Structure 1
Amino acid sequence: MIWDRLNTHKMVASIKEPKQIEIALSLRNQLSGVFLLTGHIGVIQGYVNLFRSHQVPVFLHLEKIGGLCSDYHGLDYLHKVIKPTGIITTKTNVVKTAMKMGLFTIQRFFLMDTEGLDNIAKSLAQIEPDIIEVMPARIPEMIGEIKNITALPIISGGLLAEREHTLACLKHGAAAVSTSRTELWRDTYAIDENKIRIIV
């Protein structure tokens, strides 16, 4: 389901606090999915169930969820009990384990300097997640450089403040953009003859 939504919806809601959940649900028909970066082991099941009941792909950022261990047993519990659409992690070894279990994986990379490109290439040489997320989104021209390394879909996020930042990422080849800025979740994007525009 996430692949279909990525083709038609270009915005991923990064949820950093519980009050954003209701907003994301109200805009669910124009989001490709949600990234949960809030909660703990005691409440995360309810969050996941809520999004699943509305057919919204939901991904858990493992390093942001309190009490959720990313070792084999933690991932096994996540896969069999919590049942998100998939996970987000910065750790290559976690991607490897999660993929063996059949979990959909998104690996997050940070581009701090040119060595960041080498790190992406080295990591992807070991294991390829389903999607990669690249941060920060304010260097959209680097998306093209990453596309020279891999054919995997790229989601770009971090430091987005306005529509133009989102458009720049999409124009440089990002499959979608992730942000916690709820005002940007409301925008709908269309691609016509390889041109991207905002539908107001």
Structure 2
Amino acid sequence: MNQIFYNAIMENPVIAAVKDEDGVLNCMQKDINVVFVLFGELTTISDIVDRLKSAGKIVIVHLDLIGGLAVREESVRFIKQYTKADGIISTKPDMIKYAKELGLYTIFRIFVIDSKAFNAISHHAISSADLIEILPGIMPRIIQKFSQKTHVPIIAGGLISEKEDVINALDAGAIAISSTNQQVWNM
């Protein structure tokens, strides 16, 4: 993983995940280093990224959630060529691998809904990612098991709403948490 990216996360392990324009405006005013963009369309994503970059943020676009972009290599190239985004998030291992080849930061998002999902996650699928984001992030034992299973650093995301959730995730081995809950951004 790029040292600048890693240092930015370690300096402030709370990542703002923005899901609307209000989130963009609010996180621009916060002392947050990294922002996950979880909304937008083909026609708006470049502007969203530009505004966040002008506020000094490292911007990671959730490729799977951008309207008008199919989860295909062309979409990764679009993000690389037509936005100033620093990286992508995706649930698709092929997109992570391709984005990494293009020099983007990569976050592989995993939904751990049961033991079958946990056991089905292959080392090969996650090995090319810079980070893994585990959802929901309020499962310290799962975070701990995952951190023992892989060398890839972990972000805990989803359903984190209390300071205790943040502390438990970090104590379990996550290097950061991501949240759309703007109150968590102030913790």
Cα distance in 1 for partners of 2:119, 2:156 equals 18
Cα distance in 1 for partners of 2:138, 2:62 equals 21
Q: For 2:124, give the aligned amino acid.
A: A
Instruction: Name 2:117's counterpart in structure 1.
Output: 116
Cα distance in 1 for partners of 2:139, 2:74 equals 37
* Structure 2 residue 13 is the aligned partner of structure 1 residue 13: no
Instruction: Name 2:124's counterpart in structure 1.
Output: 125
Cα distance in 2 for partners of 1:15, 1:144 equals 26
Cα distance in 1 for partners of 2:60, 2:78 equals 15
Cα distance in 1 for partners of 2:177, 2:76 equals 26
Structure 1 residue 69 displacement after superposition: 2.7
* Structure 2 residue 158 is the aligned partner of structure 1 residue 154: no
- Structure 2's unaligned 5+ residue stretches are none
- Structure 1's unaligned 5+ residue stretches are 188-200
Structure number with greater Rg is 1
Cα distance in 2 for partners of 1:39, 1:148 equals 35
Structure 1 residue 110 displacement after superposition: 0.9
Contact persistence 2:140–2:169 (CA under 8 A)? yes
Q: How many residues align?
A: 183
CA-based RMSD: 1.3
Cα distance in 1 for partners of 2:184, 2:161 equals 8
Cα distance in 1 for partners of 2:75, 2:16 equals 25
| Mapping 1:1-200, distance limit 5 Å | 1-27=4-30, 29=31, 31-120=32-121, 122=122, 124-126=123-125, 127-187=127-187
Structure 1 residue 179 displacement after superposition: 0.6
Contact persistence 1:69–1:75 (CA under 8 A)? no
Structure 1 residue 117 displacement after superposition: 2.4
Cα distance in 1 for partners of 2:129, 2:64 equals 17
Contact persistence 2:100–2:128 (CA under 8 A)? no
Deviations 1:143-172 (A, max 9, x none): 110011111110001111211111110111
Contact persistence 2:49–2:83 (CA under 8 A)? yes
Contact persistence 1:18–1:39 (CA under 8 A)? no
1:148 is paired with a residue whose SS is helix
Q: Could you tell me the percent identity over the aligned residues?
A: 29
Cα distance in 1 for partners of 2:74, 2:142 equals 36
1:52 is paired with a residue whose SS is helix
TM (normalized to structure 1)?
Answer: 0.87
Q: For 2:63, give the aligned amino acid.
A: L
TM (normalized to structure 2)?
Answer: 0.92
Contact persistence 1:33–1:58 (CA under 8 A)? yes
Deviations 1:38-84 (A, max 9, x none): 11111110111111122211111111111123322221121111130
Q: For 2:148, give the aligned amino acid.
A: N
Q: For 1:25, give the aligned amino acid.
A: M
Q: Pick closer, same or farther for the CA change 1:32–1:143 going to 2, 3 Å.
A: farther
Q: For 2:87, give the aligned amino acid.
A: G
